Amino acid sequence: MRVRVPATSANLGPGFDALGLALTLHDEVEAWTCGSGLSIEISGEGAALAGAGEDHLVIKAMRAAFAVTGARPAGLGLRCVNRIPHGRGLGSSAAAIVAGVLAARALDGAGKLPDQDLFELAAGLEGHPDNVAACLAGGLTLAWTAGGRPRMLRLEPLAPVTPVVCIAPAPVRTDLARRLLPDAVPHRDAAANAGRAALLLAAMTQPAHPGRHDLDALLLDATEDRLHQQYRAAAMPETSALLRGLRAAGIPAAVSGAGPSVLALLGARGEPGYRHRLGSLDSIARETGIAWRVSSLDIERHGARVLGPPT
């Protein structure tokens, strides 16, 4: 079976561990069962992990899914074409997990692993549901936990927004970034984030706004964060500098996931001023002194897909 999974940007500023956005940057995985052994081929990002064997994340996710469905394939084969950068805050681990559980379900029969169970399994493997939700459902997602079980809601982004990612040249481990967060934050900061997250959802999903500049201002306010970005700034000084520069120029921007990449939300490509704002973004990125890879993407509306058997 072939599976295609998108990159994701989580948090979006104030929506820590809750909001996610799917992006048109994809990994493609081809998986099959065979008589014996384990074969892994990888091209692109993470090619050095081809020798990880059973510790490869896609294989681990497949094994976890097979354990639920009761399948016991004698051998597995895996071929990955990876485009999502690893360790950059763009959901590469969530993409690998989703690819694995979807491929396993497709190989063993969808009826044995319903959608909600698949989501719960993938979120459990990832450790938090925000990237997994966006990867599976596409669009803009809200994830939360109720009764110890992850839940998600998919929203349709209607605002004329072009996501632009500034991909950092070097990775940061998500677990290290999480250890920088304090155990408690001031009540006023938590309250501010709650309001900004609500504003962001409204700004991204309302069918119309009075004018483009009004939406820019809304998104700039809506992507402000007080819960996590400031606490990680010392560990990612170039990210912090880029974020400050973009926001000072009026460009809505936030750290993508745990970083070190940055997500900016620009207007639609055909709108007046888009090229100017993209040029400003490029210029600000160069001023930080490191080689950011700036990629203008689209919102992935469909999420992960099983493409069927190889042709």
Distance of alpha carbon 77 from alpha carbon 57, whole angstroms: 14
Angle, helices 57-69 vs 92-108, to 10°: value is 40
**Cβ atoms of residues 185 and 234 within 8 Å:** no
Q: Name the burial class of residue 305, with classes exposed (0-12), middle (13-18) and buried (19+) by CB atoms within 10 angstroms of its CB.
A: middle
Structure confidence at residue 262 (pLDDT): 98
Q: Which of 12, 58, 20 is nearest to 39 (CA)?
A: 58
**Cβ atoms of residues 121 and 65 within 8 Å:** yes
Q: Which of 50, 72, 252, 233 is nearest to 164 (CA)?
A: 252
**Residue 65 tokens, joined:** 């899914």
Distance of alpha carbon 8 from alpha carbon 257, whole angstroms: 8
Q: What is the pLDDT along the chain (311 residues), one digit of tens a residue?
A: 999 999 999 999 999 999 999 999 999 999 999 989 999 999 999 999 988 999 999 999 999 999 999 998 989 999 999 999 999 999 999 999 999 999 999 998 766 899 999 999 999 999 999 999 999 999 999 999 999 999 999 999 988 899 999 999 998 876 777 788 889 999 999 999 999 999 999 999 987 655 555 888 899 999 999 999 999 888 899 999 999 999 999 999 999 999 999 999 998 888 888 999 999 999 999 999 999 999 999 999 999 999 988 76
**Cβ atoms of residues 104 and 1 within 8 Å:** no
Structure confidence at residue 208 (pLDDT): 63
**Residue 162 tokens, joined:** 């072009």
Distance of alpha carbon 55 from alpha carbon 63, whole angstroms: 10
Domains of the chain and CATH, by start: 2-144+300-308 (3.30.230.10), 161-296 (3.30.70.890)
Greatest Cα pair distance, the chain, in angstroms, is 62
Distance of alpha carbon 247 from alpha carbon 245, whole angstroms: 6
Beta strands in 212-267 (DSSP E): 253-255, 262-267
**Residue 166 tokens, joined:** 């500034």
- How many alpha carbons lie under 13 Å from residue 214 in its C-beta half-sphere? 7
List for the chain the helix, strand, coil content (%; round to 5). Answer: 40, 25, 30
Q: Which of 182, 209, 309, 187 is nearest to 268 (CA)?
A: 209
Burial state string for 105-114 with b = 16 or more CB within 10 A and e = fewer than 16: bbbbeeeebe
